[in-house]
Amino acid sequence: MLFVVGCGAAPVAAERAGAPPGPPVVDPEGEPAPPQPPPKDGRAALNTEYFLGSEAEEQAQFAEFARRIQELQKESSRSREQPLQRGFHAKSHACLRGLLHLERARDPRTRYGVFADGQPERAVIVRFSNGVGWKQSDVALDARGMAVKVLGVPGPKYLPDEPSTQDFLMTNSPTPVGRDAVEFMEFARANASGRVAELFFTVGHASTGALALSRTNPVDSMVTEQYWSGGAYHLGAHQAVKVTARPCDPALARHPDRSSPDYLRKDLAEAAHGGICMRLFVQIQADPELTPIENASRPWDPAVAPPLPVARVLLPPQEVPADAASTDACDAMAFSPWHSIPAHKPMGHINRARRYVYAASQDARRATPTRGPE
């Protein structure tokens, strides 16, 4: 059963008073509607999540995925002789501090949640990472992650461990591997055992991961990449969006010496000396088929859902300490799409599963659960 910490069961949609039946009017400030049973005619509606099967089936599936991720963590730790760490994104390049600074001229449709009027700046911590659940050289094929934790965000949260944060997790592929968490977890198993190529070529539906897997080449720098949320999120209870971040200067180029297995950390430390600026955009769902919520492997074409700038992530000049204590502190943090207020509630099967899988991964890697950063 899903629960909302501190959120009442507020009604999410009301019929237009006295009007003929039509689409329900959704209160943007309310609690978003829960997922619906699968549509009988197979046609999805805008801003709507659908259970994969039934709610009970999903809950059983998610419990199984949580168990499986812990198994993979233990297996990776044993076979690679590394400490038990994140099920994915184990290697931190650095955690940097800065500000989320709202764009003054942002589209009125984007002014919800942390992008609402009233507080133009909030503190953030940004963790840059590699994708796999173990530490390996930065030249190995892999996805890259940028996780933004916005601090000082009031309002009810879906998870009890951090009372005032809003996280945005992104990787450098427009889509994740898999249309839903079932396919993603098959990938997770194949990835951990080094069978990705086999999965890629032999399992028909793994083609849904083709775009993500094609973007795993080594990168020049963490600060020249574009990052995407992959899954959909609410932006106010009445809209669905995807989030993307790219360098404020689209022409920014960096040419690091790749001879070190940790060249991305070194490059990030150098970039941080001069300050880093990433620009955050949202794409508003435009069409239930062309920009679907329940099939995360279909990219949202910017021609259909144009990216609207909402904020800058400003990381002022700072040192990236290379000592073990600072790396440990960065590793000990917990990011989750479910560190969220209702205005940014995660959507879609792939995101619903993450509520349980991230918690399981965090439990497994922490001797004692840690608190939030504030």
91 lies in the binding site for ligand HEM (CB under 6 A):
no
Binding residue for ligand HEM, selected from 190, 245, 280, 357, defined by CB under 6 A: 357
DSSP 134: S
145 makes contact with ligand HEM (CB under 6 A) = yes
DSSP state of 34: P
In whole angstroms, what is the distance from residue 249 CA to residue 224 CA?
9
Centre a 10 Å sphere on the Cβ of residue 197 and count the other Cβ atoms it contains. 10
Interface residue with ligand HEM, options 238, 312, 352, 365 (CB under 6 A): 365
Of residues 153, 199, 268, 296, which one binds ligand HEM by CB under 6 A?
A: 296
Site for ligand HEM in 71-90 (CB under 6 A): 86-89
Beta strands in the chain (DSSP E): 13-14, 25-26, 92-102, 121-130, 144-151, 165-171, 227-228, 232-234, 240-247, 276-284, 307-315, 346-347
> Segment 172-191, which members bind ligand HEM (CB under 6 A)?
176, 181, 184-185
What are the residue ranges of helices labelled H in the chain? 55-80, 181-192, 196-202, 210-213, 263-274, 324-332, 349-365
Least gap, CB of 211 to ligand HEM (angstroms): 12
- Check if the beta carbon of residue 247 is closer than 8 Å to that of residue 275: no
Spatial contact of 213 and 200, defined as CB atoms under 8 Å apart: yes
If binding is defined by CB under 6 A, does position 171 make contact with ligand HEM?
yes
Distance in Å, CB of 183 to ligand HEM, minimum? 9
CB-side neighbour CA atoms (13 Å) of 39: 10
Buried b (16+ CB within 10 A) or exposed e, 35-55: beeeeeeeebeebbbbbbeee
Quick check: 92 and 128 in contact, CB under 8 A?
yes
Asked if residue 65 binds ligand HEM (CB under 6 A), the reply is yes
361 is an interface residue for ligand HEM by CB under 6 A: yes
* 170 vs 237, beta carbon nearer ligand HEM: 170
Residue 302, classed as helix, strand or coil, is coil
Q: Does 222 bind ligand HEM (CB under 6 A)?
A: no
Q: By CB under 6 A, tell whether 233 contacts ligand HEM.
A: no
Q: How far is the CB of 308 from ligand HEM (least distance, A)?
A: 19
353 binds ligand HEM (CB under 6 A): yes
Euclidean distance between CA atoms 320 and 318, whole angstroms: 7
> Which C-beta is closer to ligand HEM: that of 88 or that of 115?
88
Binding residue (CB under 6 A) for ligand HEM from 170, 219, 276, 310: 170
Contact call for residue 300 and ligand HEM (CB under 6 A): no
User: Which distant-in-sequence residues (6+ apart) come within 8 Å of 64 by Cβ?
Assistant: none
Query: In the set 231, 292, 299, 307, which binds ligand HEM (CB under 6 A)?
Result: 231
Instruction: For the CB of residue 229, give the shortest distance to ligand HEM in the complex, in Å.
Output: 6
The contact set with ligand HEM (CB under 6 A) reads 65, 69, 86-89, 127, 129, 145, 147, 169-171, 176, 181, 184-185, 229-231, 296, 334-335, 350, 353-354, 357-358, 361-362, 365
